[in-house]
């Protein structure tokens, strides 16, 4: 389940692509557009040494009039940040041990310490009040060490180049999706240690810019975990909501649209949905 948090851009992949279409960067043109725009697939969190950003990607962003992300982090107010911090906390003053029960909690602590080599004090103190869904990302961050986030890096470039930034949805909407998950489902996600192993498999495919293989692996993982409904709510429905907004934006100016790589490929991926609206969406070779 960690793949949703990381690859769908949650602070969160299905027309199969041709084998040669290996790129994270896609050009959008045609259908009456006066200028080209770009789609870029991100990964929310990755080791600093694995950060992938080529000259071609950089040129595409710097040539754009607007940076579009899932949410505009620069527009978050103090009230938004306080609300986010509150929503991340387990409600009613409870702890992770309260939710799991003493026996299951102790087994989980041992799993974190023995399998991920995390310090026991950190596991017991730092993680005790965080909701399981959000805790997945925190654990991965601690496990990876020095990390980068595309959202922050792209925002830095846009700020230096004085490129405006906007978002496709609000932070309140993203938080509401998590609120729709039961605590039992969140705990199931948290206890699945294979998510860490899946992350590294998907990270390798991401660095190869192989969306086809990335989707195939994701679909297989979802089938084994019975996550179909989760996929529809967190990816497919949002893709359909985004496309009209993307169309409105790209008709006005050249946009660099950066969303989680999970959202790009597939029959209900942003690439295919834009193609169905009459746009040409083509991979841009970025091996430079």
Q: Write down the pLDDT at residue 81.
A: 64
CB burial string 65-90: b at 16+ within 10 A, e below: ebbbbbbbbeeeeeebeeebeebbeb
Chain centre distance of CA 269: 14
Residue 183 CA to residue 67 CA, distance in Å, equals: 35
Residues with Cβ within 8 Å of 217's Cβ and at least 6 positions away in sequence, in order, are 198, 201, 202, 205
Q: Write down the pLDDT at residue 134.
A: 87
DSSP string of 151-190? HHHHHHHHHHTT--EEESS-HHHHHHHHHTS-HHHHHHHH
Q: Which residue has the tokens 């505009």?
A: 72
Q: Which pair of tokens denotes residue 170?
A: 């609000």
Task: Report helix angle 55-62 to 150-160, nearest 10.
Answer: 50
Greater confidence, 134 or 223? 134
Reply yes or no on whether the pLDDT at 221 is more than 80.
no
Q: Highest mean pLDDT: which of 77-86, 120-129, 215-224? A: 120-129
3-state secondary structure of 283: strand
Residue 75 CA to residue 80 CA, distance in Å, equals: 9
Contact indicator for 74, 165 with CB cutoff of 8 Å = yes
Q: Which pair of tokens denotes residue 200?
A: 């590294």
- The HSE-up count of residue 148 (CA atoms within 13 Å, CB side) is 13
Q: Which residue has the tokens 């991401």?
A: 206
Contact indicator for 150, 19 with CB cutoff of 8 Å = no
DSSP string of 38-58? EEEEE-S-EEGGG----HHHH
3-state secondary structure of 75: helix
Q: Write down the pLDDT at residue 254.
A: 98
Reply yes or no on whether the pLDDT at 194 is more than 70.
no
DSSP letter assigned to residue 16: P
Reply yes or no on whether the pLDDT at 41 is more than 50.
yes
Reply yes or no on whether the pLDDT at 4 is more than 80.
no
Q: Write down the pLDDT at residue 217.
A: 83
Q: Give tens-digit pLDDT for 146-191.
A: 999 999 999 999 999 999 999 999 888 888 877 777 888 888 877 6
Residue 64 CA to residue 84 CA, distance in Å, equals: 30
Q: Write down the pLDDT at residue 249.
A: 98
Beta strands in 34-148 (DSSP E): 37-42, 46-47, 66-69, 147-148
Q: Give tens-digit pLDDT for 20-39.
A: 468 999 999 999 999 999 99
């Amino acid at each position: 389940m960690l793949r949703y948090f990381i690859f769908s851009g949650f602070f969160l992949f299905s027309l199969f692509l041709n084998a040669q279409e290996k790129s994270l960067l896609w050009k959008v043109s045609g259908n009456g557009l006066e200028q080209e725009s770009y789609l870029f697939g991100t990964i929310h969190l990755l080791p600093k040494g694995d950060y992938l950003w080529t000259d071609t990607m950089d040129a595409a962003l710097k040539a754009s009039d607007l940076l579009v992300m899932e949410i505009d982090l620069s527009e978050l107010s103090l009230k938004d940040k306080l609300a986010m911090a509150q929503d991340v906390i387990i409600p009613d003053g409870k702890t992770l041990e309260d939710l799991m029960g003493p026996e299951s909690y102790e087994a989980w602590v041992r799993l974190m310490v023995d399998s991920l080599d995390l310090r026991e004090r950190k596991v017991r103190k730092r993680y005790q009040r965080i909701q399981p869904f959000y805790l997945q990302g925190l654990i991965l961050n601690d496990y990876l060490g020095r990390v980068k986030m595309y959202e922050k890096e792209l925002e830095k470039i846009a700020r230096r180049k004085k490129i405006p930034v906007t978002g496709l949805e609000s932070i309140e909407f993203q938080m509401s999706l998590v609120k729709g998950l039961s605590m039992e489902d969140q705990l199931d996600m948290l206890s699945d240690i294979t998510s860490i192993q899946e992350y590294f498999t998907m990270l390798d495919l991401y660095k190869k810019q192989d969306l086809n293989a990335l989707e195939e692996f994701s679909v297989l993982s979802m089938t084994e975990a019975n996550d179909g409904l989760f996929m529809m709510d967190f990816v497919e429905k949002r893709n359909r909501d985004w496309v009209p907004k993307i169309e409105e934006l790209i008709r006005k100016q050249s946009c660099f649209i950066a969303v989680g790589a999970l959202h790009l490929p597939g029959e209900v991926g942003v690439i295919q949905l834009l193609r169905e609206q009459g746009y040409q969406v083509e991979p841009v070779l970025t091996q430079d």
